[in-house]
Amino acid sequence: MHYSYGEYLALEDFSAVRHEYLDGEIYAMASATPHHAALAAAVLAGLRSQLPFGYRAFTSDLRVRVPATGLSTYPDGAVVCGSTQRAAEDSIAVTNPMILIEVESNSSEDYDCGEKLRHYQAIRSAQEILILSHREPRISLHRRDGDSWTSSEHVAGGTVPVRSIGGSLRVDDVYRDGLEDA
């Protein structure tokens, strides 16, 4: 069945489950494990303390709309510089995140590192995308470099340079509580 964006918004207004929207399809998003939520919180806490004035960190409650591809989704975290810009058809969906954060799960790993990453890279304001492994202490950093993107992996003992805010994240700090229920 093909749904309009208005039908998607009506569902989101009343649903206890979050959904993604793309090309007329609505997809239920899986609930996060406590470990998943803790990893997202650890990254946001680490970034929050380093944000320059005028930057704001957001939790997974923020809906992000990708105008270039039509995806609406809820990243595990995001950072916006300055005022939030809103989607024309969705007054609460933000279109200008600078940093996007995703924590993988068994069910989302391929999507997060593939199709969803490509959607995020289509956001004009996006400068860095952090994808956290649920299997091991590893953070993948995808950074805009002019018109292209570069990728790097950062593992235990390493530091992730978050250039867009002039900060960094220590992998060991993010994963300090382990991976017990990933």
Read off the pLDDT of residues 108-151 as tens digits, 9 standing for 90 and up: 888 889 899 999 999 999 999 999 999 999 999 999 999 999 99
140 falls within a domain: yes
22 falls within a domain: no
Domain total of the chain? 1
Name the amino acid, one letter, at 17.
V
Contact predicate 110/140, CB 8 Å: no
Q: Which domain holds residue 140?
A: 32-174
- What are the residues facing 103 on neighbouring strands? 132
58 falls within a domain: yes
Give me the residue label for tokens 């994808």.
Answer: 131
- pLDDT, residue 180, reads 61
Q: For residues 7 and 9, what is the distance between their CA atoms, to the nearest angstrom?
A: 5
Q: For residues 87 and 94, what is the distance between their CA atoms, to the nearest angstrom?
A: 6
Name the amino acid, one letter, at 3.
Y
102 falls within a domain: yes
76 falls within a domain: yes
pLDDT tens-digit readout, 66-87: 999 999 999 999 999 999 999 9
Structure tokens at 150: 């570069």
Consecutive H or E run containing 23:
none
15 falls within a domain: no
Q: For residues 147 and 24, what is the distance between their CA atoms, to the nearest angstrom?
A: 29
**Which CATH number belongs to the domain containing residue 58 in this structure?**
3.90.1570.10
96 falls within a domain: yes
3 falls within a domain: no
* Selection from 147, 145, 117, 111 nearest residue 129 by Cα: 117
3-class SS at 120?
helix
- pLDDT, residue 182, reads 45
